[in-house]
Structure 1
Amino acid sequence: MRDRLAGTQERRLRSGDVSYFEELFRSFYRPLLSYSAPIVGDWEVAEDVVQGVFERLWKERKRLEMKTTMRSYLFQCVYSRSLDVLRKEKVRREYRERSLVKVNAGESETLGNITYPELESRVRSAVERLPAQCRRVFEKSRYAGMSNADIAEDLGISVKTVEVHMSKALKRLRSDLGDFLILCLFYGII
């Protein structure tokens, strides 16, 4: 029974049935929001998570292959995306703490003198200087919040290739931005 139901739901979504998508959104938005909020610890962040899941569901509907019901699928997507948000926030928090220690200790005079627009400009320039594929992978990861698997699928490359490109991009940015990388992470620019 579940396989047939999942197949029907999948077909309706793949066909671009807007009324079905709206029905899904109305039925699951609140429960998914209530599920994500305790995980991420913030109602607005949970809204972003759930909206992102629905946006991706619509965008990727033609490639959708469900092995469960739509309900299970949506809850699993929200769970994964919520954990991704937590991981990224943890990394940002750790870098913020390290950068504050450096700035407070006076280790870098230049860090305290740069303005946010200057920093943003430096990052933009550094990202633009990345090789094309590295830049695409980096932007999808850092700015669009996509997972490595999603990036690989979107670009038609393997997950391992995505990891290699991210590694190259981060190594190059560390080199290009030097001490400013800490501030970039602090302000959430990268």
Structure 2
Amino acid sequence: MDNYTGLTEKELIILLQQDDEGALRPLYESHLKPLHYFILRIAKSKELAEDVVQDVFLKLWENRNQINPDQPFKTYLYTIAKRHLLNMLKRIQHETFIIEEIKKYAAPVENTTDLQIEYSESNNVLNEAIDKLPPQCKAIFMRCKIQGMPYKEVAAELGIAEGTVHAQMVKALRIIKEYITFKNAILLLLAYLKNY
């Protein structure tokens, strides 16, 4: 940190663009608390705000060559943060909708033999759908939805960004929903054809 003491944000950004990872630390430390507070006011979730802050600084490093050192850094940083947060909220909303759709197929209603068989078949279809997922997608889905691990822990365990966990969960739930819809369509068709 001593090497960067007294440097302006513009000088730190120039160092950042020269692949100097150390220059990211003073930028992170000076903007961490206000940025976290800014996101928290919108997200209303401490955990989500922390996720966004970490992802934003990761994006900052990955896109360091796109930063204009002559433009206000704070404006650039907060624009990225707001955009990233809105994307995450859209993903979460979409994910919640898909989970509710899946529950419609998998939830037992009464304890009758017919419904138990139907529930068992639904679970089999759900398990088939999970097996169809690509390896990373399946690993993330199993940890998040079956084992109930938070996205943060899954990201740390698999050595990936939390944004990747969110994206893979959206992908997994889309694939599962499509598979369940497809299987149900076939079952309905077979039931229809039986009558002829």
TM-score normalized by structure 1?
0.56
Task: Give the aligned partner of residue 155 of structure 1.
Answer: none
Aligned to 2:59: 56
Q: Which of these residues, 25, 29, 51, is aligned with residue 26 of structure 1? A: 29
Mean alpha-carbon deviation: is it higher for 119-128 or for 68-77? 119-128
Aligned residue for 1:43? 46
1:35 to partner: Cα distance: 1.3
Q: Say if 1:44 and 1:11 are closer, same or farther in 2 by CA, change over 3 A.
A: same
Bigger radius of gyration among the two = 2
C-alpha deviation, 1:20, in angstroms: 2.7
Aligned Cα root-mean-square deviation (Å): 4.0
Q: Distance in 2 between matches of 1:83 and 1:103?
A: 30
Give the secondary structure class of the aligned counterpart of 1:16: coil
| Counterpart in the other structure of 2:193 | none
Q: 1:126 to 1:17 in 2, by over 3 A?
A: closer
Map 1:150-189 onto structure 2 (within 5 A): 173=175, 177-179=179-181
- Give the residue type in structure 2 aligned to 1:112: N
If asked which structure has higher relative contact order (CA below 8 Å, sep 6+), I would say 1
Q: Quick one: which of 121, 124, 134 aligns to 1:110?
A: 121
Partner residue, 1:137: none
Matched ranges for 1:1-150 at <5 A:
8=11, 10-61=13-64, 63-66=65-68, 68-104=71-107, 109-113=120-124, 120-124=130-134, 143=164
Q: Deviations over 1:102-128 (max 9, x none)?
A: 333667643334687x75432126979
Against the structure 1 CA distance between its residues 68 and 6, is the aligned structure 2 distance closer, same or farther, given a 3 Å change threshold?
Answer: farther
Structure 2, unaligned stretches of length 5 or more? 1-7, 110-114, 139-160, 184-196
Q: Cα gap change, 1:179/1:109 in structure 2, threshold over 3 Å: closer, same or farther?
A: farther
Tell me the TM-score normalized by structure 2: 0.54
